Structure 1
């Protein structure tokens, strides 16, 4: 081998390899922004809806019953979405029902998520008999369709907003418990957890400071997906007369009272059903996008 070749080879070996370019951050899909916009409009309607349409959502007005969308009432006001068989303004009913749906969904996720997080964190961290009991109870509950369990519980507790939140939280806690359990089991044997245990940290401190942070991200993904399912469940129970009281606006109850008028007044059931489908689809799109962005395997 010549000297020139040796020099060239040595020089090439002395040059450090170029560092790999940093991986670009995963962009949020456009569909997520569209779904977020729809959901933002829904939340805005729930918050300030009664200010935009200051009518009693359940007040009857028989002279103006079954008005088609866009027709005027005897007072000269425009019924933009029409009225039902009792003369109730559907737009005001839709805005008030959105507030009930949002309240029930958020309260159910908070109550059911907190209960599931506690059970899943304890069972996943300790294992043994706490994990066995929690897992068997969850298996038994999942053996029954959630909607049938909700119907039974709602029938026992009676129609009210508080009872519907309790009912749906009981049917949803197991989902959050299993997500938290899986995250706790994957984290409890990692090196930093063992180091904290060796240094004398107690179980409560380890769970709160080291294991709990690993549960937040999958729980947020699960909560985003469950929001739409909870809204559908609340509307289903209200459709059957087991949800909110009859003097409270609800999308499911409005769909129920309009099913006898589908041939002559299609808008009574169509408007709240379309709003529910649109919002649930938007929440599902946001949940899928959030899952894709937060999943490391989808970023390879």
Structure 2
């Protein structure tokens, strides 16, 4: 029986708590994340606001509750991370299957297109697209999905190239199975496990990319809270109000580390060499 170590279990628990807070955040903390209160500017963590509410993590330079901003930002990060990975997986899966199974000129076109994109830094491409599309949650998802599809396409293409020459695929082809049936019933199952491992890793990287775009003012609009925009708002107050930038920064770091730990665990569990050694 496969068993995970303590690290992945703790990481899964932390991520589960993060998801729970993101989903139930407005119920847990009924404060508006973008409501400004000038009289409550730069309150330290644990202070009491002028209306009697408790600012557990303090307030920023506009009197906005930092805890409410972190919770609202977690919803944005979760939505962007999952949406970008799902969109990238769908596009990469289709293109990777076509390139790996049919090969020839189709493989050449898809592979060269991916090579050209990989030659350009993904964060710069995301900045270019986000700047052209404008600040919007949908535009952020589109911009980041464009930078991610090639990663999944290469993973699927490699699995398809390995599987299409196997005996059971050749037998299905001899028996008259159509290309669509072979792709769906024989090639696709072999791509699922490596694709899931790659997707797990990319969730954390996507969250970092979204925070970077929001930090630069190219992410979500100013009327929506985001970890990146909150960090950007607190960069001028690191000496006097460190909690504005530190709290969302710690939250982002913790989530990305936990996602990385789970991605490494999934990769180790799917490593064929591990099965050979176990035998």
Band of TM-score, shorter chain: over 0.9
Runs of 4+ in 1 over 3 A off after TM superposition: none
Partner SS state of residue 258, structure 1: helix
Deviation digits for residues 69-124 of structure 1, max 9, x if unmatched? 00111122210000000000000111111000000000001101100000000000
1:26 Cα deviation from its structure 2 partner: 2.9
Deviation per residue, 1:38-75 (Å, 9 max, x gap): 10010001000110001110010110010000011112
Is residue 2:48 matched to residue 1:72?
Answer: yes
Taking the TM superposition and a 5 Å limit, the aligned residue runs for 1:1-300 are 25-299=1-275, 300=277
Tell me, which stretches of 5 or more residues in structure 1 are unaligned? 1-24
3-state DSSP of counterpart to 2:143: helix
**SS in structure 2 at match of 1:213:** helix
Aligned residue pairs total 276
* In 1: Cα distance, 2:241 partner to 2:4 partner: 41
Specify the SS of the correspondent of 2:220: coil
Q: Secondary structure at the match of 2:244?
A: helix
The 3-state SS of whatever aligns with 1:151 is helix
Cα distance in 1 for residues equivalent to 2:237 and 2:39: 17
Aligned-residue Cα RMSD (Å) equals 0.7
Tell me by how many angstroms 1:298 deviates.
2.5
The residue aligned with 1:5 is none
TM-score, with length taken from structure 1 = 0.91
In 2, distance between residues paired with 1:192 and 1:294? 22
Distance 1:288 1:144 in 2: 26
TM-score (structure 2 length as normaliser): 0.98
